[in-house]
Amino acid sequence: MRIREKAALAVAGLAVAAAGGTVFAGTSGAVGPSPSPSVQAAETSCVTDGAGMCTVQHALGAVPAVVVVSANTPGQFNAYMLNTVQGSYTATTFQVRAMFDQTTPKAGGAIWFSFAAYGGAPVTTPKPPSTTLPPPTTTPTRPTSATPTPTPTTTMPPETTATPPGGGSGLGG
């Protein structure tokens, strides 16, 4: 910044201070990748869907790292809260949601707001994660015999028709 520009800023700051405003000392440049970060700021409007959401187009050419939104309400009784929708950022759009309170969306209504979208990394196709698996482990098993184990059998003595020892006819006697 040249001396003349710094002096003009100082005079403007004094004028704001004299009018009762807040003055921030110093100036700062844009922060980000060289030569300068990608930023888009605009004012826009849209009509919300049944959930109070609408999609906004941007021209960053990259998925924004950050999007800041600020509602611009035209009337004193038309206030709504405005937030970006988590996970909705793409290389060309993002979504906002307008709510009257924590549980009531501004459904099917026009909303006006300003936004600033700060560029993130350029859009690239992600590589799938490596799926290198460890070698399979083997569990020792008991060897099996090729011949089946014979089923044990019991041999019963043959039935005899002989007379029990001690003789007799079995009629008591």
Q: What is the pLDDT along the chain (173 residues), one digit of tens a residue?
A: 544 444 444 444 444 444 444 343 333 444 555 556 689 999 999 999 999 999 999 999 899 999 999 998 877 767 889 999 999 999 999 999 999 999 999 999 999 999 999 987 655 556 666 666 666 666 656 655 555 555 555 555 555 555 555 555 555 55
Cα 73 to Cα 47, 106, 148, 158, distances in angstroms:
14, 12, 88, 110
Dihedral, CA of residue 69, residue 73, residue 77 and residue 79, to nearest 10? 0
Domain CATH number, residue 109:
2.60.40.3940
93 in any annotated domain: yes
167 in any annotated domain: no
Q: How many domains does the chain contain in total?
A: 2
Residue 106 burial (10 A CB sphere; 0-12, 13-18, 19+): buried
* Residue with token string 């003789």: 167
Same-domain status, 13 and 81: no
HSE value, Cβ hemisphere, 13 Å, CA-based, for 52: 16
Same-domain status, 22 and 53: no
Same-domain status, 17 and 81: no
Find the domain containing 63 and state its range: 31-122
pTM over 0.85: no
Locate 22 and state its tokens.
Answer: 């807040």
pLDDT at 73: 80
Same-domain status, 24 and 45: no
